Structure 1
Amino acid sequence: MIGRIQRPVDFERVLARPSRARSAHFALHHLSADLAPSAWAAAKLRTAQAELSTGDAQAAHSPVELVLPAATPGGCWLGMVVPKRHARRSVTRTLLKRQIRAAFAAASGMPPGLWVVRLRSPFDRQKFPSAASDALRQVARTELAQLLDRALAPPKSPKPGTSA
């Protein structure tokens, strides 16, 4: 099962990193699970050390939202950024989000962590005049599958004799 990223601070942390893979319309960002807990622990520590101006310090409780991402089965959390400027109709934005979720559900071997898929350019309205056509659905699904394959492929080693 893949969790959903909902907090803006999580989106900011993932989108601050360079994209792991790009396609004509999408960019894929990833923050690995071994990097994610450190920020959560730092926020928890700041909460515990906060001093109250009203008197004695109370026992610091960890807020509900500080649950570590790795606590879910598989440890994969997915966020989607589909801006209105690239997909004007809500039907199109919903279709793209469904295709993103379906592509992640079909992908196997996803490393744990926070994943964000961002729509970075609009689909041509001349080719896809309908907001939710089968053609748009198929093209988006194919492009997302290729994007995930590229992101999950092992990095290419440099050719012998060339410097990296």
Structure 2
Amino acid sequence: MIGKLQRPVDFERVLGRQSRARSAHFALHHLAAEPAPSAWHAARSRTAQAQLSTGDAQPAHSVVDHDPPAAPQGCWVGMVVPKRHAKRSVTRQLLKRQIRAAFAERPGMPPGLWVVRLRAPFDRQQFPSAASDALRRAVRAELAQLLGRAMPPRGAA
């Protein structure tokens, strides 16, 4: 399963760690964790508990057994493609589509939160078209190398 990171708190958690791999244009960050629980769901459960129809306050029970945090079950991918490195929206969208496709082609990625960050612009002299096939191939090849370097070696546990 590949999910999409959307909440700023998840991006902050992942980008706060050192990059796992770098290439000429991209940096890849990873955190072996689940996305943070939504504040909307937590607020909704609090209001549901506060509005009991019985009228009497229910005694609060504390949990005795604390389970260790579960290992992450899937990959969540976030993308940071700033305008200062990709001025045209067509190019930013092309880069995001290629990042999603690169992760979809790699079924053995370790679970957790992944963020791919564009850290340098592509040369506009070499790729004059914002959404050229040459740019698409160059991005896909670079992402394949980047994800290959981020994978743990086979047999390593």
Paired residues in the alignment total 131
Contact 1:79 1:116 in 2 (8 A): yes
Q: Tell me the residue number matched to 1:64.
A: none
Q: Tell me the residue number matched to 2:18.
A: 18
Q: Tell me the residue number matched to 1:86.
A: 85
* RMSD of aligned alpha carbons: 2.9
User: Does the residue aligned with 2:146 lie in a helix, a strand or coil?
Assistant: helix
For 2:146 and 2:80, the matched residues in 1 are separated by 15
State the 1:108 CA deviation.
Answer: 2.4
Q: Tell me the residue number matched to 2:132.
A: 133
Superposition TM-score, scaled by structure 2 size: 0.74
Gaps of 5+ in 2: 51-55, 61-69
For 2:4 and 2:107, the matched residues in 1 are separated by 17
C-alpha distance 142-59 of structure 1, shift in aligned 2 (>3 A):
farther
Alignment deviations for residues 129-160 of structure 1 (CA, whole Å, 9 cap, x no partner): 000000000000000000000000429xxxxx
Find the structure with the greater CA-based Rg.
2
For 1:129 and 1:90, the matched residues in 2 are separated by 14
Superposition TM-score, scaled by structure 1 size: 0.71
Matched, 1:152 2:154: no
Higher helix proportion, which one?
Answer: 1
Runs of 4+ with >4 A deviation: 56-60
* AA aligned opposite 1:95: L
User: Does the residue aligned with 2:122 lie in a helix, a strand or coil?
Assistant: coil
Contact 1:69 1:77 in 2 (8 A): no
Task: Tell me the percent identity.
Answer: 76
Gaps of 5+ in 1: 61-67, 156-164
* AA aligned opposite 1:23: S
Contact 1:100 1:117 in 2 (8 A): yes
